[in-house]
Amino acid sequence: MQLPQLTFTRFVAALIVLVFHGARGSYPFTVYPGRYLIEYGSVAVVYFFILSGFILTITYQAALERAGTINKRNFWVARLARIYPLYAFALLMTILVQAVVYGIPINPFEVLASGTLMQSWFPALATTLNGPGWSLSVETLFYALFPFLLLWLTARSRRTLLGWLLMVWVGGVGLFYGLINGVDAGTAATETYHNLINYSPWVHLPTFINGCICGLIFWRYMKQPVPATTRNRLGWVMLFAGTAGMIAAVQSQQLMTYAQGGILSPIFALFILGLAVQTNTVLTRLFSWQPLVYLGEISYGLYILQMPVVQLLKKVDLLALGNSIWRDLFTFAALFIITVICYHIIERPAQAFIRRQWSVRPIRSRSQNPV
């Protein structure tokens, strides 16, 4: 099942994270409503997690129903091929920028943790070197569990899935609430504890699981003979409800304290389902426009390359633009160009090579061979 209208939303989320990291001191992000992106832009990563579970589920559900299982090796090879080549390049670029441009000594333990995608399991190392890489470390846990998780979820009824959707969300938010409020103020203020509760894989696992559940519910709904007009109306209702919910949520600083714990997952799910369920509406046609889909396809590069590029151009201010919106725009433009180049000469070729070399090909029976 192809849902190109969702691909562009990855670019929007990546752009929000980029603004959060790289435009903190620039107008219009120093005043509201732009200020919300600086205060809460990191929550876009939570959207990535729920979208990841949703997309993986609808991508592999057809194969699961057809074969009764998922080829785990091919799945894991596909995930490795998708994330690691550009991740490794961005990590190497980060090390060079920090060592050569900034003169920062490189800690070998940080290199080992980041190189093996294990940094998020160690609070002291979670955001070292290429900071955004922590989310890829988190995703590796999701990928390790996904084939088993989807098999288990597929055997559940719709009512059971809805029950698990609620329980996982409440449990995840409750866990995060307990982590924030269950320690003294001194401990909670430390960087190590902050990293523990914000970047640990097990904290974000409920969000991913809920993405998978939403994907399976959506898959089953779309197999029913529901008229397109009914689905479209339902989609618009979901989008309006999600928009209203997000506007209300950002007004509450107390509520947004728990955003990293998945409290906004229902709102993100409404956005995803509201777009996915629609067919041939003005919004889906717009988001399925090839240039916008392409932006979504290269969004991973924007996300993972942002740190070394921003660090480099902040230190090497080629146009002497100072701390201004113009320097931010120049940095973002340079990042975009570098991302496009890397997409075509690193990301796609490496992905194809790894899958070609390491995937298990089905063995053809003699009856399938031409005479």
226-266: pLDDT as tens digits: 999 999 999 999 999 999 999 999 999 899 999 999 999 99
Under the banding of pLDDT at 50, 70 and 90, the label for residue 73 is: very high
Under the banding of pLDDT at 50, 70 and 90, the label for residue 2 is: confident
Mean pLDDT value across residues 333-337: 94
Give the pLDDT of residue 40.
84
Q: In the 8-state DSSP scheme, what is residue 347?
A: I
Please tell me whether residue 370 adopts helix, strand or coil conformation: coil
Give the pLDDT of residue 31.
62
Give the pLDDT of residue 362.
60
CB-neighbour burial class of residue 39 (10 A; exposed 0-12, middle 13-18, buried 19+): middle
Mean pLDDT value across residues 308-337: 83
Task: Write down the mean pLDDT value for the chain.
Answer: 91
% of the chain beyond a pLDDT of 90? 77
Query: Where do the domains of the chain lie?
Result: 4-358
245-254: pLDDT as tens digits: 999 999 998 9
Under the banding of pLDDT at 50, 70 and 90, the label for residue 325 is: confident
Give the pLDDT of residue 300.
97
Q: What are the structure tokens assigned to 7, written together?
A: 């691909």
Dihedral pair phi/psi, residue 81, rounded to 5° = -65, -30
Give the pLDDT of residue 28.
64
Residue among 353, 337, 343 at smallest CA distance from 298: 343
Give the pLDDT of residue 20.
81
Give the pLDDT of residue 25.
61
Mean pLDDT value across residues 213-221: 96
Under the banding of pLDDT at 50, 70 and 90, the label for residue 329 is: confident
Under the banding of pLDDT at 50, 70 and 90, the label for residue 182 is: confident
Inform me whether the pLDDT recorded for 167 exceeds 80: yes
Give the pLDDT of residue 350.
97
Please tell me the distance from the alpha carbon of residue 54 to that of residue 200, in angstroms, as a whole number: 21
Give the pLDDT of residue 249.
93
